[in-house]
Amino acid sequence: MTTLAAPALAVPPTPPFKAPRSINNKTEPLNGFKGIPLEEGMQLVSTRMALCQALYEEMKRNESIFIMGEEVAEYNGAYKVTKDLLKEFGAKRVIDTPITESGFAGLAVGAAMTGLHPVIEFMSWNFSFPAFDQIISNASKMCYMTGGMFPIPLLMRGPNGAGPRVSSQHSHAVEALYSHFPGLIVISPSTPFDAKGLMKTALRENNPICFLENEMLYNYEQAIPTAEYLLPIGKGDIKRSGKDCTIVAISRCVHWALEAAEALAKEGIECEIVDPRTIKPLDIDLIATSVRKTSRCVVVEECYRTGGVGAEIAAQLQDLCFDDLDAPVGRVTTTENPMPYAANLENETLPKPHRIIAAVKKACYA
């Protein structure tokens, strides 16, 4: 893997988590790369708009970037993340593919080896499994195996985690799976601000990147700067300050953790919420700093418990914060069963707020 690129622009302060108002779906765009202007250099966007805007800006900046995947062109993307990019950049740079993930992933690795910068969309990261060999055996290892002669500037993106009532085969969270292999960067943002800033940085990288969006966050809205900005890979963010327990939450789990934290605050337990934003490289220093302050930690993720990201964080905290911890590191994950179709069972399977609250109370002996 080549060296991570440092953002050339100043990193702006994190904007408020909640948008000042909602997008008017009758008079304002719900997708595409044009944000809705607000006052003081801000714009209102959804996560899908933030991602589309990042793609648009970086494709304007770098002509070697092209996008391919199932329905990314004529249909504007299954989740409309690539809306109007075909109109802007034409069919040579926005390419519809057959349903052949292994084929277009292998094509993308070859294209990256020749100096292009492909972006491939998996309609779902569940569908990346047919391309697993191309991602693991080729994309992640080619730079190393050629002594740096062939870096692989490749961005792989798409929705990750469980959608509503899509049952077992379309509900996998793959953060832990892909972060296991050296050579891959794994990014998992939770807000439009993070999604745009990290996407733009990722598109300036010379390394293969798994960019894990969450289907249930595409409609989430936030005010973000209209001016260009980048966010550094490998740096997390404090989404809520607190003194009693650190909650490390990933992607959609950040929102569930915030909901749990508000409920716990009413009972006198103030939680600090750390969003790693990138899973690999992991900002363990930020997590450890928070844990040294609160002396307790609960990790919340959509991966399974066995071999999950939380297991890695807990192991590293044992090395770094053993004498600071007043309780074992708690873990709230998707339960170890295939995702049920029934809504009531799905609610108990996912790491929802009621399960986070119970884990925090256990850590605080409350």
Give the residue numbers marked as catalytic: 101, 170
- Alpha carbon distance 48, 156 (integer Å): 16
Distance (Å, rounded) from C-alpha 35 to C-alpha 53? 8
Cis peptide before 328 (omega within 30 of 0): no
Q: Could you please report the per-residue DSSP string of 226-243?
A: SS-----TT--EEEE--S
What is residue 145's three-state secondary structure? Answer: helix
Query: Cα–Cα distance between 320 and 315 in angstroms, integer?
Result: 9
Look up residue 214 and give its two tokens: 């969450």
Please list the residues that pair with 208 across neighbouring strands: none
> What is the Cα Rg of the chain in Å?
20
In whole angstroms, give the CA distance from residue 265 to residue 43.
31
Residue 68: name the closest of 57, 77, 58, 59 by CA.
77
Amino acid, single-letter form, for residue 83: K
Q: Are 210 and 309 in contact (CB under 8 A)?
A: no
Torsions phi, psi of 134, nearest 5?
-65, -40
Sign of CA dihedral 154, 155, 160, 166: negative
Q: Which amino acid is at 10?
A: A
The helix/strand/coil state of 159 is strand
CA dihedral 90, 83, 168, 164 (to 10 degrees): -170
User: What residues contact residue 248 under an 8 Å CB cut-off, 6+ apart?
Assistant: 273, 274, 276, 287, 297, 298, 299, 300, 310, 313
Residues 261/292, Cβ–Cβ less than 8 Å = no
